[in-house]
Amino acid sequence: MKKLLFLVLFWLSAGQGLAETYSFGVVPQFEQRKTFAIWKPILDELERRTGYTFDLVTTPTIPAFEKLYNAGSMDFAYMNPYYMVENPQGYIPLVRDQKPIIGILVVRKDSPYQSPADLAGKEIAFPSPNAIGASLLPRADLARQFHISFVPRYVKSHSSVYLHVAQGITAAGGGVEKTLEEQPDNIRSSLKVLYTTRAVPSHPISAHPRVPKKVRDAVQRALLAMAATPEGKALLDEIPMTQPIATSAKDYEVMRGFGLEDMFQREAP
C-alpha cells in the first residue's frame, strides 16, 4: 500500500512539473549573442509569470528568420511589422511598442550628401530586402519620391549596415532610430541621419494560430504586467520596447497603402 501511494505521489508531482513548451523566435536586429542576452531574461520572466516554458530561437540573418516564419516553425515571434501584411501562416499580433518605427538613411558626418537625391547611382547598405524600416520604407521612398536608382547591398544586420557606412564601404545605409541608438559610441558619433521615412506600427510579438488562446492571452497579460514594474520595464527597454501596448492585426492594415508590396521579396517556391 505504501509503495502504491509513493508511486501515485511521484506521478502527480512529475506531472505538475511538466510545463508546456513553446518556441519563441526573434528577428535578428542585432548579432546573435546580443539578441540572446536581451531576450533570455525576458523569456525567463515570462516563464515565471505564465508557468509555460519558452525556447529562444535566434538566427544569424533576417532571411534565415523569414524561412522559419514562412514555414510557421515558431510558436511565438518578435517580427517585422510588414509580416502582418505578408502573413501566410496567420500569425496573431499580441503586443507592440506604442512608439512607431521610422526608417532612416544614414551617411558619414563628413560625407558630401545633403539629400537622398544625391545618392543616385551610389551603393547603399540594407540589412535585408524585407526589413521594414531599414529597407522597405527607404527603398520605396528613394524610388518613388526621389525617383533615383541606386545599388542595394544586403549585409545581414542593422549593426553591419552602420559599420559599412562608418567605414566608407557604402555611401549610405538604411536603419531605424532604435538600432542606431544601440550602436557603440564610435560608430554612432561618426554617422548622421540624412532622411527619415513615414512611421509604421512597431514590431509585434505575435503567436501562431495553433497556440491555444488561453496561452496567447496569458503571454499578452504577462508582457503588459512586466511593463508595469521597474524590473520588467528595464528588461523590455532592451528590445527596445519602451511602452508595450496590446495590438491586433487591424493596427497594421495602414501599410497596405504604402505600396511596399513591390519592394517585398517573397521566398522562392
Asked whether residue 12 is assigned to any structural domain, the reply reads no
Same domain, 55 and 27: yes
The pLDDT, as a whole number, for residue 182 is 87
The pLDDT, as a whole number, for residue 15 is 40
Asked whether residue 148 is assigned to any structural domain, the reply reads yes
Sheet containing strand 21-26, strands side by side: 53-57, 21-26, 76-78, 204-207, 92-97, 244-246
The pLDDT, as a whole number, for residue 157 is 87
Low-confidence ranges of the chain (pLDDT < 70): 1-19, 267-269
Q: pLDDT tens-digit profile of 206-248? A: 999 999 999 999 999 999 999 999 999 999 999 989 999 999 9
Q: pLDDT tens-digit profile of 176-208? A: 988 899 899 999 999 999 999 989 999 999 999
Asked whether residue 267 is assigned to any structural domain, the reply reads no
240 prior amide bond cis, ω within 30 = yes
The pLDDT, as a whole number, for residue 18 is 52
Any idea what the CATH number is for the domain that residue 67 is in? 3.40.190.10
Q: Which of 148, 170, 200 marks a domain boundary?
A: 200
142 membership: H or E segment, kind and range:
helix 137-144
Number of domains the chain is built from: 2
Rg (CA), the chain: 21
Same domain, 136 and 191: yes
The pLDDT, as a whole number, for residue 62 is 79
The DSSP result for 178-224, as a single string, is HHHHTS-HHHHTTEEEEEEEEEEPPPEEEE-TTS-HHHHHHHHHHHH
pTM: 0.75
The pLDDT, as a whole number, for residue 1 is 46
Same domain, 155 and 69: no
Same domain, 246 and 132: no
Same domain, 180 and 234: no
The pLDDT, as a whole number, for residue 187 is 97
Structural domain boundaries, residue 149? 101-200
Question: What is the dihedral angle through the alpha carbons of 203, 266, 73, 245, rounded to the nearest 10 degrees?
Answer: 10
